[in-house]
Amino acid sequence: MSVDPGTRITHAVWALLESDGYDALQLRDVARVARVSMSTIYQRYPNRDELVLAAITEWVDAHIYRELAPPHPEETLAEGLIRMLRYVFEPWEHNPHMLEPYFRARSIPGGHRLDAKGFEAVLPVAAQIFAGIQPDYAADLGLVLTNMTYALIGRCAAGDLDSAEILPAMERIIMRMTSDNVPLTTPVEEAANDHTEDFPTFGIGPSFHSPFAP
């Protein structure tokens, strides 16, 4: 059975993004790999941006957004949020080569559709996870998690962070934001008495401070 030219074009874009990267993608190479003419590509996509956006949208549909189960009755807020983030990020850990193209495609005309698709995939279950939570607190959590998500993806796209480090970082953020941190903000008695040698020196891992390194 012959494969539809549109499918061949999409799969060619996926293969070239994986092998050559976002910047190196050329329409003539897509035509060669897909075994179609340039006119066939232009009949479907008026420019490179439209082709890349369509291909990445199809890739996300095929690899990222599966069915997300609703929360069970005993699930805590932290457990629900971590489960939702694993749903989103575990596929990226297995396909890190597509993270940069995804991030870059968000900035091209029409790229907001990728963000909208992500929200549509998690919003129904997210609403159930946040059910009964104080609205202001839920809004603050959403603000922090959304911005941290895009910041960490951007660092991966820039090569400053491994994709496998996103999920552990987000899980730590969730645990901190859903826990009582007041006791942790109060200096312990030993430190107050200047016995600081008993405590480890504060530090951040190299992968997290690299953007600020000289």
For the entire predicted model, the pTM comes to 0.78
Angstrom distance (rounded) from CA 52 to CA 54: 5
Task: Parse the chain into domains and list their residue ranges.
Answer: 5-63, 77-179
What CATH code would you report for 5-63?
A: 1.10.10.60
Number of other residues whose CB lies within 10 A of the CB of residue 161: 21
Alpha-carbon span 115 to 123, nearest angstrom: 12
Q: Are 30 and 16 in contact (CB under 8 A)?
A: yes
Full pLDDT tens readout for the chain, 214 residues: 567 889 999 999 999 999 998 999 999 999 999 999 999 999 999 999 999 999 999 999 888 888 889 999 899 999 999 999 999 889 888 888 889 999 999 989 899 999 888 888 889 999 999 999 999 999 999 999 999 998 999 999 888 889 899 999 999 999 999 988 777 777 766 555 555 555 556 555 655 555 444 4
The string of pLDDT tens digits covering residues 40-63 is 999 999 999 999 999 999 999 888
